Structure 1
């Protein structure tokens, strides 16, 4: 395969993105610059390169908008549940199960995983830290082990597969050109391997240290978690004038790297917002909270069962890729139900406000992916022609695939080596601290390497997705959402990352070995 100057420009841009990610800097600028230079070099036209920058983001946005929409709808539903206090009631019953430290560790791990799988780790974090973590500490679990359980289950295992909502598999599939459901199935199994290995290893390596007793963890001491200190005050005081924001707002602020008060002013949803029924309707609000605390988990649980039956049996028929639309549609209907029953005459306005806030959050959280995906897409022949405005009968270049084909005789023809190379690539792009920004890139890399290695593209994409998510999602690097976990649990983020490093990396290595054996 003949390499043109445009191929080399694209590869140089790809290298610059990886270097910037390793340096923990924002990759939007190099992505836009690399897109312009690649298009201008290939077309020989500066105006063509300028137009390609816009078209690249437009193509990426059109391909990924379904992901933004599902984030918006789920976030809007959670905001509506938060207004009536239903999200707290969903996890409160699990407090009774925490009879001692080891049991509390397992309960905290399982509950965090289940809720993060359906509602994502960041919204779940504030909820778990405020309700379950204090109970776990009272049962004898150290704040550090609590932080480890939350990080592995939520920021790691749930995020790595994103099996229910399907954002991560969708991003990987956008570059890999394979079914998102197929990537999700493989990523789920790999995430279980990593999570269980990391969970057991972390406990065994940490439990030997003497845990501070509850008596010595007095309020204001380093050992006392934020969640535990919050429990000492009345529940309603969390949003009082003393703190300036709720625990949910603090989680949003930490996840978006904003000061808590700025996050409150910038659209974070307060638990006080929308409670306009007045004190005379406390009983009705409590009944609605109980109703939706049961209805929402049951509805999503039934949806998950339906999706699993459609994937693995012939009892029901579920179209490929129907998971995300089903989750988004169910979230929208539940949002409508909460708004109508809770806000009454303001239901139309409050429902629209929640959706607008959800869209705002979605673009703040994932907007950086669009220019990066645009650069990745210009290297894929299915999109490059549209991006650079080529004629319909013209041969569209695939810069990344052409480059790999040109050197494929020098690539070791060893599937095991290629699997670990893809894992390393995923961990590298995850160093930016987001975990998902580079998934279109690792997906396209998996598709390019698949024919040479004889491996399934979905398997390689799932391995890379796990590497990126576990690294940048919030378990290995301290500039990720791991800082939110550490802050809520009242532990050092550096110490937390250090304790997670060996168990998580061991789990990633073993999961790659498992992938080599079963696929």
Structure 2
């Protein structure tokens, strides 16, 4: 597999190292990302004006890619403001509050429910479904917002998405690339997903409880725990209860529609966002007689202000990492070699060509390649490459193609799909009102431990 690495690849890799170092030391990465975009564009085009323009173009590209997530988070926050300002939210969370009484119950309940819903509809819609109801309950029983975000993220974007047992988009891509039946990849991934998920979520919970006990983590406010009640609301207690019942019913109908019409990913998210928008309209018109139109606008302004405030710091770093995949041609132009499959995919493929072949090295390499291809924040863009490399390694080793394929798939999606790349975990961070970069830092050690243990386990399962 001949891979020609150019100066663009090495510059990109160098800036990745700088960005990771800045994130580890809790330094802002915005300037590094902008310099990285400018440098890569300058080397690729040789044009000063083109390089400067590429910074702006990369921001437009990143915003376009992130816009559906920005919109649905903004609308969910607007809905939450309408619920809390009218007192409906208190009625809605009462049944859950009677069951979820401790931070431990909140962490595991939110995580397991998130995992179950994500299996069927993928994590972003699941975050929106759970956020308005369970986040306030968890905060009130003492689970910090960061702990809630970790549970949603690790169980949803981690366990559920890396296995993808129901929708099967991920195993379909990897199995096709490896040239094996999809059932083989799913069967091989089951023990690895269980090991990865169990080790990571338990480790994260242990660290979380330790920091709570030491006072390092405390219960903060959240955009979904907006407690000011608007005295101009005219909803009676009876109508609050009725609407509190109708809202979950509407989202249950969403789930039914997703199943009946096979809506997943972006389509499912759009359905939830549209439903939330209708809820904002109905509540505003019903609760604020004669002032419903202006109240609707006010709730939307609150939601959009929150959405762009949260996403603002992420856009530059997302813009840089999008250069590693299809964003390069869209932002800078066709300046990569004809044989290139994207910078991050090229780096992953190049790594696979310089390592010796054995079961242990094969497992480590597939984990590393999966993690590298996940750096673009997609998780899915590089898993076909993972399947191809797994097939090559298995031919040399003589066995283990399904296990290697599943291992690479898990590594790619846990990193990029994702629990470590900041903009991939923004939905959970935004709903919980926490810094996505801080969430990525909290996830780093548990996910790394999980990947190490899972890689070792894969060596024995090949």
Q: Same fold (TM over 0.5)?
A: yes
For 1:39, the equivalent position in structure 2 comes to 41
- C-alpha distance in 2 between matches for 1:52 and 1:482: 30
1:341–1:251: structure 2 CA closer, same or farther, 3 Å change rule?
same
How far the C-alpha of 1:128 sits from its partner, in A, is 2.9
1:85 maps onto 2:87 in alignment: yes
For 1:275, the equivalent position in structure 2 comes to 231
- C-alpha distance in 1 between matches for 2:271 and 2:355: 41
Selected match of 1:297 from 248, 254, 272: 248
Computed over aligned residues only, the root mean square deviation of the Cα atoms, in angstroms, reads 5.1
SS of 1:251 mapped into structure 2 = coil
Structure 2 length-normalised TM: 0.66
- C-alpha distance in 1 between matches for 2:208 and 2:12: 46
- C-alpha distance in 2 between matches for 1:512 and 1:118: 32
- Whether the 8 Å CA contact 2:321–2:377 is kept in 1: the answer is yes
Selected match of 1:160 from 154, 159, 173: 154
- Whether the 8 Å CA contact 1:73–1:355 is kept in 2: the answer is yes
- Whether the 8 Å CA contact 1:67–1:167 is kept in 2: the answer is no
1:362–1:43: structure 2 CA closer, same or farther, 3 Å change rule?
same
Selected match of 1:353 from 280, 285, 298: 298
- C-alpha distance in 1 between matches for 2:207 and 2:61: 47
- Whether the 8 Å CA contact 1:121–1:158 is kept in 2: the answer is no
- C-alpha distance in 2 between matches for 1:320 and 1:502: 28
For 1:230, the equivalent position in structure 2 comes to none
- C-alpha distance in 2 between matches for 1:203 and 1:192: 16
How far the C-alpha of 1:403 sits from its partner, in A, is 3.5
How far the C-alpha of 1:7 sits from its partner, in A, is 2.6
Structure 1 length-normalised TM: 0.60
- Whether the 8 Å CA contact 1:87–1:127 is kept in 2: the answer is no
- C-alpha distance in 1 between matches for 2:79 and 2:191: 28
- Whether the 8 Å CA contact 1:20–1:27 is kept in 2: the answer is yes
For 2:364, the equivalent position in structure 1 comes to 417
1:286 maps onto 2:237 in alignment: yes
Aligned pairs for 1:247-262 (under 5 A) are: 250-252=221-223
- C-alpha distance in 2 between matches for 1:377 and 1:402: 14
For 2:390, the equivalent position in structure 1 comes to 453
1:180-201, Cα deviation, whole Å (9 max, x unpaired): xxxxxx9999988766667778
Aligned pairs for 1:91-130 (under 5 A) are: 91-97=93-99, 105-106=104-105, 109-110=108-109, 114=113, 117-118=127-128, 124-130=134-140
List runs of 5+ in structure 1 lacking aligned partners. Answer: 134-145, 170-175, 180-185, 213-221, 228-246, 253-267, 311-315, 430-437, 475-479, 484-496
How far the C-alpha of 1:396 sits from its partner, in A, is 8.2
- C-alpha distance in 2 between matches for 1:122 and 1:106: 18
How far the C-alpha of 1:30 sits from its partner, in A, is 0.8
- C-alpha distance in 2 between matches for 1:351 and 1:48: 42
1:275–1:420: structure 2 CA closer, same or farther, 3 Å change rule?
farther
How far the C-alpha of 1:288 sits from its partner, in A, is 3.0
- Whether the 8 Å CA contact 1:89–1:290 is kept in 2: the answer is yes
- Whether the 8 Å CA contact 1:190–1:463 is kept in 2: the answer is no
1:107–1:468: structure 2 CA closer, same or farther, 3 Å change rule?
closer
How far the C-alpha of 1:387 sits from its partner, in A, is 1.0
1:368–1:517: structure 2 CA closer, same or farther, 3 Å change rule?
farther
- C-alpha distance in 2 between matches for 1:34 and 1:126: 39
Selected match of 1:71 from 70, 73, 81: 73
